[in-house]
Amino acid sequence: MGSYAGLGEVGGKRILVRSDLNVPLDGTTITDDGRIRASVPTIKALADAGARVVVTAHLGRPKGELDPAYSLAPVAARLGELLGQDVAFATDTVGESARQVVAGLADGQVAVLENVRFNAGETSKDDAERGAFADQLAGLADAFVSDGFGVVHRKQASVYDVAQRLPHAMGGLVAAEVDVLRRLTVDPERPYVVVLGGSKVSDKLGVIDNLLGKADKLLVGGGMVFTFLAAQGHEVGKSLLEEDQLDTCRDYLRRAHEAGVELLLPTDIVVDTEFPSGDRTPAPGVVPASEIPSDSLGLDIGPDAAADYAKALADARTVFWNGPMGVFEVDAFAAGTRAVAEALTKVDGLTVVGGGDSAAAVRTLGFDEAAFGHISTGGGASLEYLEGKELPGITVLLDEEE
């Protein structure tokens, strides 16, 4: 029998693994199995070492009630395909089915429990309610492995409280994520370029705050661009605009200038008169960023900006990218995101794609994941780490080491 880092011999033991299997579904069809594939190595290592592996995870936000639309059944089936072995599925999380399925496991076998968020105790803000549910989860296992990086910023029962109740260890995925994020925050190799996109400035306030003092260049794309452009006094038409963040954006522009950080905004924008939807054929046009028509909205950075951003990335030694440059799901507005991804594949150094939509974009646009240094499985967790926040699901694993 083999051992697993920090837990010693695991053969014959019931190991509860918190994975991140929160994949997008179209009905019962998984449209992107990246997170399941990322969870396989740790589960396989434990099973190969003779452990009886009990996987717990969430899917969506079912609000503490059973909702068949958020069942992990299709995920369990896909996990079995990727592992090349049958995976048992419990139709509840800590009830009769879970107890029977776990009791029926032989050494080296794997089971998946139903969506942990079907239990209100998982996400409860009440320590006692969360703890009571964690007691039930912990009762199914002899030890705990935390491998769901996408949830380590959450103080939830299956992430935080269970670790206080069982011998515990970091899974390989979480350990790799933490290692990469440390390399981004502790003495990164320079030039250090941060690319931020996505829809809202407000989602990225903390990370911009923290990185303005650390990065050499900050490239801004996506919907958040328009609040920066408006802060400079430009017309942004019908584009996404957070008026309550205008002063914040002005402050960022001033601070970047004072700190000698190059904050790049796009010089041109791809616009249309409507957000892409339904059967309407997109009618994209390209305009200078300072001349967005009042009847149009920006949906991607323009070709000149894409070339500028690629050039700004060319000599980088460390890159962190979080958030697409435009509505990449629609081909007419995908060129900016594609250009940034392409530029990252050519960087001689550490490139980190920061989870969420950026990781989805890389896969949707057909890039080989191996061309990037690291594709994070946790957008929110990555951002909070880079903001300098403590992640409860990590802190609880390290308590005994300090």
pLDDT digit string, tens, across residues 74-123: 999 999 999 999 999 999 999 999 999 999 999 999 999 999 999 999 99
> Are the C-beta atoms of 159 and 18 separated by less than 8 Å?
yes
Q: What token pair was written down for 297?
A: 């909205």
Active site residue 131: no
Domains along the chain with CATH numbers:
5-170 (3.40.50.1260), 179-387 (3.40.50.1260)
Please report, in range form, the residues annotated as the binding site for ATP: 204, 298, 329, 355-358
Residue 399 confidence (pLDDT): 64
Q: Could you tell me which of 194, 133, 176 has the C-alpha nearest to residue 158?
A: 133
At residue 265, the 3 state secondary structure works out as: coil
Strand partners, 4: 8
Q: Does 35 participate in catalysis according to the annotation?
A: yes
Query: Mean pLDDT lowest for which of 42-46, 137-141, 210-214, 311-315?
Result: 210-214
Q: Are strands 297-301 and 268-272 parallel, antiparallel or unpaired?
A: antiparallel
Determine which of 104-108, 204-208, 261-265, 284-288 has the lowest per-residue pLDDT on average.
204-208
CB contact at 8 A, 147 and 45 = no
Does the pLDDT of residue 277 top 90, yes or no? no
Q: Is 200 a catalytic residue?
A: yes
Count of all residues that appear for the chain in the document:
402
Binding residues for (2R)-3-phosphoglycerate: 35, 117, 154
H/E run at residue 92: none
Instruction: Enumerate the known binding-site residues.
Output: 20-22, 35, 58-61, 117, 154, 204, 298, 329, 355-358
Of 14-18, 89-93, 121-125, 387-391, minimum mean pLDDT range:
387-391
In the structure, what pLDDT confidence band is assigned to residue 401 with cuts at 50, 70 and 90? very low
pLDDT at residue 402, rounded to an integer: 35
Sequence-distant (6+) residues with CB within 8 A of 395 are none
Q: What pLDDT, on a 0 to 100 scale, did the predictor assign at position 137? A: 98
Active-site hit among 34, 222, 380, 393: 380
Placement of tokens 């072995």 in the chain:
85
| 357 — pLDDT class (breaks 50, 70, 90) | confident
What are the E-state strand segments in 32-182?
52-56, 87-89, 110-112, 143-146, 168-170
Active site residue 380: yes
All residues at 6 or more sequence positions from 26 whose CB lies less than 8 Å from its CB, including other chains: none
Res. 251: pLDDT tops 80: yes
* Active-site residue, from 356, 378, 379, 393: 356
pLDDT in tens, 361-386: 998 899 998 999 998 887 788 888 88
Question: What average pLDDT does the segment 283-300 reach?
Answer: 97
Q: Which of 140-149, 237-246, 350-359 has the lowest mean pLDDT?
A: 350-359
Order across the sheet with 143-146: list the strands: 87-89, 110-112, 52-56, 14-18, 143-146, 168-170
Strand, coil or helix: 260: coil
**Active-site residue, from 13, 18, 35, 238:** 35
Average pLDDT over residues 51-59: 98
**Beta-carbon contacts of residue 126 (< 8 Å; ≥ 6 apart):** none
Average pLDDT, the chain: 93
- Do 386 and 181 form a contact (C-beta atoms < 8 A)? yes
Question: Is the sign of the CA dihedral 247, 253, 254, 256 positive or negative?
Answer: positive
Which of 44, 99, 183, 200 is catalytic? The answer is: 200
Residue 11: band (very low, low, confident or very high) from pLDDT cuts 50, 70, 90 = very high
Compute how many other C-beta atoms are within 10 angstroms of the C-beta atom of residue 101: 21
CA proximity to 102, closest of 135, 50, 141: 141
Give the pLDDT of residue 356. Answer: 72
Read off the pLDDT band of 45 (50, 70, 90): very high
For 99, the token pair is: 């107890």
The arithmetic mean of pLDDT across residues 340-358, rounded, is 91
Residue 193 per-residue DSSP state:
E
